[in-house]
Amino acid sequence: MRLFLVVFLTFVVLLNNIDASFLFGQPCSIRNTAYLKVHKWIAPPGEINCVDVTGFKKNMHNKIRLSNYTNFFNKASNADTLYADHINITRFPILIVKSLPNLELIDLSGNKIRKLPTKMFRLAPKLKKLLVSDNKIMIPKRVSLISSITLQTLMLSNNGIHTIYKYTFRKLPNLEVLYLDNNNLKTLNPMFGTLPNLKMLHVGRNYLTAIPPKELVSKSLRQFITKTQKKDIEKRSY
Ligand SMILES: *[C@@H]1O[C@H](CO)[C@@H](O)[C@H](O)[C@H]1NC(C)=O
Ligand SMILES: *[C@@H]1O[C@H](CO)[C@@H](O)[C@H](O)[C@H]1NC(C)=O
């Protein structure tokens, strides 16, 4: 009887989790994901938590005639997660992001994006996680990279970033987790004190010559990953 109960409860828990999307601890699956492709779209019968546009790459750069896809975006309007990763797009998919007003996670990892829209809060007012590792993000000198009061996690690993500036992260007051590993940074000084809520910072595999104390980076910093720094010599050899 007890075994039966355990099996039954496990089954109930699994069933309940099926609809949960990435943000709620479960990966997106075919049951909760709507797929936008070049000539068609596929949506599950139940709730849509995730949108996958990786099959839409060819249309991404054209001026998307959103009116053609009204039904798709209406149906997916509650989605909190967008996948547009590893498809070599060179621009941030502004129109698609704008059409999904409830996004909390945007995954654009593994593309060739250079510029992020500064006024991110207008495009994605609920954004919590922005994944842009393995791109070519350029850090502007005199303005913030993006502004968003909701953003909590920003992944900028492996973007060939050489320098950050004092304005770079100034407009992300609630950022808690920042990945800057595998870039070409020599110093973190310009970011000192600009991220009041930062809890985790990963800066491994850069060219940092000195590792500053945690408190100097942010008073709230708890996890500070700095291993391992690359040597200049390594840089010269390629
Ligand atoms: C979008 O709609 C226009 C007319 O409204 C049509 O000519 C065009 O072929 C459509 N494009 C796609 C990809 O469906
Ligand atoms: C992206 O570009 C790389 C080369 O730069 C290529 O090897 C890869 O297959 C491309 N991927 C896609 C999905 O187009």
pLDDT for 183-204, tens place per residue?
999 999 999 999 999 999 999 9
Rounded mean pLDDT, 64-78? 88
Output the ligand 2 site: residues, CB below 6 A: 86-88
CA distances from 213 to 145, 221, 222 (A): 24, 10, 11
Identify the residue with better confidence: 30 or 198. Answer: 198
DSSP-based three-state secondary structure for 130: strand
Measured on CA atoms in the order 64, 69, 74, 77, is the torsion positive or negative?
A: negative
Does residue 2 fall inside a structural domain? no
Does residue 224 fall inside a structural domain? yes
Does residue 158 fall inside a structural domain? yes
For ligand 2, pick from 88, 90, 112, 136 the residue to mutate: most ligand atoms within 8 Å of CB.
88
Domain of residue 42: give its range.
32-236
Does residue 180 fall inside a structural domain? yes
Does residue 81 fall inside a structural domain? yes
pTM of the model: 0.86
What's the pLDDT score for residue 18? 37
What's the pLDDT score for residue 162? 97
Q: Are strands 177-179 and 200-202 parallel, antiparallel or unpaired?
A: parallel
Q: How far is the CA of 107 from the centre of ligand 2 (A)?
A: 17
CA distance 110 to 148: 22
CA distance 164 to 154: 14
CATH classification at residue 83: 3.80.10.10
Cis omega (within 30 of 0) for bond into 228:
yes
Does residue 112 fall inside a structural domain? yes
Does residue 9 fall inside a structural domain? no
DSSP state string for 196-233: TT--EEE--SS--SS---HHHH-TT--EEE---PPPHH
| pLDDT over threshold 80, residue 91 | yes
CA distance 164 to 139: 7
Does residue 5 fall inside a structural domain? no
| pLDDT over threshold 60, residue 1 | no
Total domains in the chain come to 1
